[in-house]
Structure 1
Amino acid sequence: MDTAATGLTFRDATDADVDALVALIESAYRGDASRAGWTTEADILQGQRTDSDGVLEVIKSPASRLLTVERDGAIVACCQLEHRGDHVYFGMFAVNPGLQGSGLGKAVMAEAERHAREAWGAAEMHMTVISVRDDLIAWYERRGYRRTGRMTPFPYGDERFGIPQRPDLQFELLVKPLV
């Protein structure tokens, strides 16, 4: 789908996109490059955010879609949508740090929510966010997501998810009605 108003193309990721998607996700959250945007986790987590195997697993899963967003042929954003019965899980959301704050994230979320409603008939969108990410949670709340207070532990000791820099990390479930 090409949206002329923003010049964005939304499509499903392919195996050929894996390296570019890993680079995008890492640049949005980890290391010094992530500090160019506001979604960085560099102060609370080091190490990797994802890897090729994790991205490929989402691409290959029959219940998932890795929505890839291009502008002028370059991948500029992505998000995972996973159909889970009456709701869709939203994850692996990344926007090029140099484009954060431009409205691109809002456009990606709107397309993800539209797809969840129209393709899967989902009543809700669910996501988990590290509970200490107050600025990020506030951004989601402005888009209609609500904190549930339902927490799950951060996988300390599993470096596939990063190396925590503080002892109080956990994930909070955020939910948005889609109907």
Structure 2
Amino acid sequence: MDTAPHQAAAELTFRDATEADVPALVELIESAYRGDASRVGWTTEADILQGQRTDPEGVLDVVRSPLSRLLVVHRDGGLVACCQLEHRGDSAYFGMFAVRPELQGAGLGKVIIAEAERSVRETWGAREMHMTVISARDDLIAWYERRGYRRTGKTTPFPYGDERFGIPQRDDLEFELLVKALASRP
């Protein structure tokens, strides 16, 4: 696993998370999706889910998993984003994507997802990137479609009753699988 920082864009530095990063990562993920702080950005889920998005144990599981990487993104020495990459044979899973709410809409997400795609293609030979998105999040799905992801129509139920994933504010939540074919290396 490559843990050395490197520059993928002029001002962003990417590296693999360590156990010491877990508290800051939980705060970042929570701030991007839940509560009033998340309303500053456009990725908030505060109107459809309350409670937590993740917890230290969930983040630590990703950091420790031999099949996953949790990429942390810094700019000017500060944590600005993260994403989970999980090796799944010919494909990779993209999840736990969070950008600081006050920085959303400034183009960071495009750079980060492109780096994630490059990384899984080069490191694991992944030919596809998979992700699941709450199907009610039309704006978020549209953003991923503009990046080349396609809706598959394959859904899985939201884990109602498991507050580790939040407290649903509506009864029609489900996850939809989005997939993107990754170009092979030149």
- TM-score after normalising by structure 2: 0.94
Query: Does 1:99 pair with 2:103?
Result: yes
Matches within 5 A, 1:1-179: 1-3=5-7, 5-179=9-183
For the residue of structure 1 that corresponds to 2:15, the secondary structure is: strand
> Displacement, 1:74?
1.1
After superposition, what is the alpha-carbon deviation per residue over 1:52-100, rounded to whole angstroms, capped at 9, x for unaligned? 0000000000000000000111110000000000100000000000100
For the residue of structure 2 that corresponds to 1:129, the secondary structure is: strand
State the one-letter code of the partner of 2:138: D
Aligned residues: 179
Q: Distance in 2 between matches of 1:61 and 1:36?
A: 32
| Structure 2: segments with no counterpart, 5+ residues | none
> Displacement, 1:5?
4.6
Change (3 A) 1:129 1:5: closer
After superposition, what is the alpha-carbon deviation per residue over 1:30-63, rounded to whole angstroms, capped at 9, x for unaligned? 0000000000000000000000000000000000
Q: Distance in 1 between matches of 2:6 and 2:36?
A: 32
> Displacement, 1:4?
7.4
Runs of 4+ residues over 4 Å off in structure 1: none
State the one-letter code of the partner of 2:98: A
| Structure 1: segments with no counterpart, 5+ residues | none
Asked whether the 8 Å contact 2:8–2:115 carries over to 1, the reply is no
Q: Distance in 2 between matches of 1:11 and 1:126?
A: 21
Q: Distance in 2 between matches of 1:159 and 1:76?
A: 26
Q: Distance in 1 between matches of 2:24 and 2:91?
A: 28
After superposition, what is the alpha-carbon deviation per residue over 1:130-163, rounded to whole angstroms, capped at 9, x for unaligned? 0000000000000000000000000000000000
Change (3 A) 1:165 1:177: same
Q: Distance in 1 between matches of 2:160 and 2:9?
A: 43
State the one-letter code of the partner of 1:45: L
